[in-house]
Amino acid sequence: MGHAAIVGIGHSRFGRAPDKQLHELAWQAIRQALQDAGVTQRDIQFLVVGNAGGWSSELLPAVVVGEYAGLTPVGSMRVEAACASGSAALRAAATAVESGKADIALAVGVEKMTESTTMQIVEMIGRAGSFFWEFEHFGLTFPGYYAMYATAYMHEYRAKEEDLAAVAVKNHYYASLNPYAHFQKQITIEDVMKSRYVAWPLKLYDCSPQTDGAAAVVVASEEMAKKLTDTPIWIRAQGVATGTANLSKRDNFLSLEPAVLAAEQAYKQVGIERSQSYKYFDVAEVHDCFTIAEIIAYEDLGFVERGQGYALAREGETYKGGRIPVNLDGGLKAKGHPIAATGVSMAVELTKQLRQQNPESRQADIKKGLAVAHNIGGTGHYAYVTIFSLNKDVRFT
């Protein structure tokens, strides 16, 4: 197996885009990625489009995107792994390159959520678990799912609503410094606490928004990467796991077990000790669809021990300069969460971090040359943990 590297990145503005269709959003990101890599459509040998769909009109998004971007007759596919569809697209593109089936592949994640009403989106996402048992019988919505995790966590560890709010404040702060983010305004703990409840204890500011957007990466083989750039960002490891559709089959609501398993797989590939994982990474992107999800992610990734994630947030240790900087782009909470674009957006952000291309206000201190992305589909129905590196051969044991 060869090595795969990101050599080009692109990103649309996240937010509401009533004047753009799905393929136009995708092209904004693709065009930037091609230019960044110094390649053209003729150089792309495989196209992977991450798109969860359901709320937008295009039934065959890969075909529509490929045509509009001038990528036909390049072979293509559409992949879906709920909110982790972007990481699934990256995995498919990287696998094509690593296997030798393609020298250069393109992964794009794109979503046009606002073609549907809020109530339609709430229903469609609520259907994403076990439809007949959870949605049809009990009417669970996506905020309701994570509210169960939040109440369990608060009961077990005595965390407070203010601790959840600290995550939102951090992520809105960094989103205010990110021109691509959905929300550009800083908030306070008081703002979060005054916002209306969506599903207790989760309030409006604890929840990620419905967002339109796209992100894209050009992935190249080792030989091609060296020809195209002096700073390839290597997809050094990736772990993947799948959880139960039915939440009643889970052991507890204090962790997303597939995320733990995916992290262990990725860590094993580079010799990272999970209990000390924060020491290996310069920066992290984690799946904060709700504030409680970010806190649980700290623990699932081994940044802190169980029951200490809320303290990490409360004490500001996930800001730039802290124990482990997390979501310096605003995260899903404030950058936005256009479902399938999220995983690719994480890859774009961490590529920029490792290249040190961000403004100083949200650029992590890059010393180790290693970053990690944690991308969840549903409530742990899918989990992808990806390690990006400046050194393709990095290994610690």
By annotation, the residues acting in catalysis are 83, 337
Cβ proximity of 219 and 45 under 8 Å: no
Report the 10 Å Cβ neighbour count for 321. Answer: 9
Residue 25 to residue 64: CA distance in whole angstroms: 12
Residue 334 to residue 318: CA distance in whole angstroms: 15
Cβ proximity of 306 and 299 under 8 Å: yes
Pick from 191, 195, 174, 194: which is nearest to 183 by CA? 174
Report the 10 Å Cβ neighbour count for 102. Answer: 23
Residue 309 to residue 311: CA distance in whole angstroms: 5
The packing angle between helices 142-157 and 291-300, to 10°, is 60
Torsion angle of the four alpha carbons 275, 88, 130, 290, in this order, in degrees rounded to the nearest 10: 60
Residue 111 to residue 356: CA distance in whole angstroms: 28
SS3 state at 241: strand
Residue 124 to residue 278: CA distance in whole angstroms: 36
Cβ proximity of 348 and 307 under 8 Å: no
Q: Is the dihedral of CA 120, 125, 131, 134 positive or negative?
A: negative
- Cα distances (angstroms) measured from residue 338 to each of 115, 134, 201, 371, 377: 12, 24, 24, 22, 12
* Phi-psi category of residue 205: left, alpha or beta, with phi > 0 → left and psi -120 to 50 → alpha: alpha
